[in-house]
Copies of this chain bind each other. A is one copy, B any other.
Amino acid sequence: MAKRGHRRRKRITNSDAIEAVAGSGPYVNRQLPFFDPLDEETLVKLEEQSDWLIQEIGLEFRDDPTALDIWKAAGADVFGTRVRAPADLIRFLCRKAPSEFTQLARNPKRSVKIGGQNQVFAPVYGSPFVRDLKNGRRYGDMDSFEKLVKLTYMLTSLHHGGFVTCEPCDVPVSKRHLDMLYTHMRWSDKPHLGAITEMSRAEDSLAMAEIVFGKEVMKGNCVIMGNVNTNSPLLIDRVVTEAIRVYCGAGQGIVIVPFILSGAMGPVSTAASIAQAVAEAMMCCAFAQLVHPGAPVVLGNFLSSMSLKSGAPTFGMPEPVLSNYVIGQLNRRLGLPLRCGGALTASKTADAQAAYESADSMHSTMMSGAHFVLHAAGWLESGLCTGFEKLVMDADRLGTYEKILVGLALDDEAMARDAYGEVEPAGHFLGCAHTMRNYENAFFESALSDSENVESWEETGSKDMAERAFGRWNELLENYQAPPIDDAIDEALVDFVARRKSELPDAWY
């Protein structure tokens, strides 16, 4: 970073991050009305399609006989592994899930409300690769993972830590979840998700959460959630049902997300793919309520379009943008917390393509009223790669969405009538009393957008946004200070991880 640019910027400190969170709130309480693009007739048509899939086609629940037993006991029509059920029953069960719930963070100031008028942003999840401007593209590792968790902790527009900010590929798969959980619990105090890839890993996640929160708190509160993908089309495998049984069985939360690339895992029609996703997610939500009535469930939706040239998934395109609008409205009738969208792109680097696609994807996600937005920052390369620059760039834009969602000030002070007594036509408002009273909070201040004139910009090195972002994430990390943690809790977490690692074999699958 050029010296001059550096000197001009306020030094970022850890307390800035904490104060900003305290100032702007640990999540967004939306004031902007929702966007409802569909009329009643169309809504009913989509709902009937979901109901038809649930009643007539049915879903496969494979490799988990316990799940089939649960469905049989509930009165569903179970034929082999195919489960059909009256849509009324499924909707009745879904209504047992809370429409809004709180996920506690270990720092109570950072607990988030999920559902209703609230929106919570979390970083990218699950990328095997990472990329930054200096070191290029490489496999994710624990070093990168820890840096990403620390950055997420410091970035005030990220309200939730997510979980797999990148895959730490230098740790055996069988033990990876332990290091990831410890990293979130120790180096951040924001809420986060737990492991789901195997039943025992989900159980480890709950055990470590119990060390942090205590048995009593966990009994009556959501402190951790799992995020699972169905196997679209219409297949729910044991990873999903076991994760539901472990998390919801303990009264904890589950995020259920059909991932549908239209034309592959769903019909080559956005409307049909949305209805299918709703059917799959509703069935899983109902299953969760059979496991534990009242368990927090987030209904997920992840829909992408396809390149006709290569069949590759595309992001930020009109079809998933429309699907974000539509799923928001459909879901408000279901009354469940919703996850959809994110700052998605197929671009390999933090270039203009990444930004256009991410912005349109995220703008529609914001409009949809999505309550829990995973992948809201850092996603590159169709989800294969976490970008360090992309993370801080997206987070900066999330700050703009936070302000949009709070909406326009419309009180008498906002009408500024006194200013027109002071300022004549063709005059200017720069120094008038109303401006002096209000300018400090009038406008969003971006950390990464350069609005200087071209001469100033050239003097500081003609840096593009990605180069400025490289400077920013390095500066944030230099100024990182760990949030405090009770020594006894830290020790217990370290012991738990060590013990479980000693019990588990090194396995790379």
Q: Which residues of B contact A367 (CB under 8 A)?
A: 35, 367
Q: How far is the CA of A464 from the CA of B415 in the complex (A)?
A: 45
Report how many residues on chain A are interfacial, defined by Cβ distance under 8 Å.
Answer: 122
A435 in contact (CB, < 8 A): yes
A408 in contact (CB, < 8 A): yes
Chain B: minimal CB distance from A277 (Å): 13
**Interface 1/0 per residue, A451-466 and B, CB below 8 Å:** 1111001000010111
Q: Is the CB of A268 within 8 A of B434?
A: yes
Which of B269, B415, B435 sits near A49, CB closer than 8 Å?
B415
Q: Which residues of B contact A266 (CB under 8 A)?
A: 429
CB nearest to A270 among chain B residues: B408
Q: Which residues of B contact A137 (CB under 8 A)?
A: 454
Chain B: minimal CB distance from A379 (Å): 13
Q: Which residues of B contact A403 (CB under 8 A)?
A: 318-319
Interface residues of A in 309-358 (CB under 8 A from B): 309-319, 321-322, 326, 346-358
Q: Is the CB of B415 within 8 A of A45?
A: yes
Q: Which residues of B contact A322 (CB under 8 A)?
A: 404, 407-408
A173 in contact (CB, < 8 A): no
Given contacts A317-B400, A425-B234, A442-B262, A57 and B420 within 8 Å (CB-CB) = yes
Q: Is the CB of A465 within 8 A of B347?
A: yes
Q: Which residues of B contact A443 (CB under 8 A)?
A: 262-263, 305-308, 314, 317, 319
Listed in ascending order, the chain A residues whose CB lies under 8 Å from chain B are 8, 32-33, 35-37, 42, 45-46, 49, 52-53, 57-60, 62, 82, 137, 231, 233-235, 262-272, 275, 305-319, 321-322, 326, 346-360, 363-364, 367, 381-382, 384-385, 393, 397, 400-401, 403-404, 407-410, 413-417, 419-420, 423, 425-430, 432, 434-435, 438-440, 442-446, 448-454, 457, 462, 464-466
